[in-house]
Structure 1
Amino acid sequence: MARKPSRRWATTLLIGTALASSPSCGIADEERFARSMESMEQAARIAGPGGGSTENPQEIGGFAFDDVYRDGDRVYFKLGDHSNVDPYGYVWSPKVPPADDPGDATASSFEHIQGHWYRWSESY
């Protein structure tokens, strides 16, 4: 007669699997950004002036960006949804830390990564 696995063993296995996979997702993104940062900065420095998105997909470093565009002194590297609903990605802002414009209907958030780099997301 085959012995059934104990509940304790199954719970331990599930917790172990969750713990093993959870940090690796964040670390993978951080490592990919660290490896891509130099290429992204080169792209940011040559990005032409523009007042908004040109929907210009580009592969830079380890990322496939839906769009890369300059808005003033900032260069946005958009990863988000293709329908432009709640986009997110990275921003290179070499002059001043980016901040949400309270007069804009879009709520933008920026989280400093390092140097001139920020994680960015928007919600409507």
Structure 2
Amino acid sequence: MRLPTAACVALTVLLTSCGFGTEQRVLRSLTEMERFARTIGPEDDLPGRSWKIGEAEFQSVHRAGDRVYFQVGENGPSVDPYGYVWSPERAPIDDSEPAVTSAFEHVQGPWYRWSDSY
């Protein structure tokens, strides 16, 4: 069964807008992202510019303790950041400010999906 062209375009737009394309690009880029994360020192806060690492693009990259955050974007119309975090020492926990709730979901190895809610 072949889908009509309009259905293929609609499916592609739906999957891409839901983050499916971003997720796949990030998963294919984890090796390059880890290499990049290992080079960032505590003083190398890089949130002011966007980054392309491997196949993935990030709004910002920053270190917080032993974790490195790769911010993909913001959730919907709000300003809640989300993305991926490299945490090689242990599973990350929500240890942020009381006004922020951080959530982490294991992806593989030292990688976690991350989102903040203000």
**TM tier, smaller:** 0.7 to 0.9
The size of the alignment, in residue pairs, is 108
Cα distance, 1:33 vs. partner? 2.0
Structure-1 separation of matches of 2:15 and 2:103: 23
Structure 1 counterpart of 2:117, one-letter code: S
Which of 97, 110, 120 lines up with 2:91 in the alignment?
A: 97
Cα distance, 1:85 vs. partner? 1.6
Contact 1:68 1:77 in 2 (8 A): yes
Identity among equivalent positions (%) equals 48
- Alpha carbons of 1:95 and 1:101: their partners in 2 closer, same or farther (altered >3 Å)? same
1:32 matched residue in structure 2: 25
Larger radius of gyration: 1
Superposed CA offset, 1:27-73 (max 9, x none): 53443122111110011000121496632311111222111111100
Partner of 2:34, secondary structure, is: helix
1:67 matched residue in structure 2: 60
1:114 matched residue in structure 2: 108
In the alignment, structure 2 segments of 5+ residues that lack a partner are none
Cα distance, 1:117 vs. partner? 0.1
Cα distance, 1:105 vs. partner? 1.4
Structure-1 separation of matches of 2:102 and 2:93: 8
Answer with 94-103 or 26-35: which moved more. Answer: 26-35
**Does 1:56 pair with 2:56?**
no
Instruction: Give me the CA root mean square deviation.
Output: 2.9
TM-score (norm 2): 0.74
Runs of 4 or more consecutive aligned structure 1 residues displaced over 4 Å after TM superposition:
20-27
Higher strand share: 2
Cα distance, 1:102 vs. partner? 6.6
1:88 matched residue in structure 2: 82
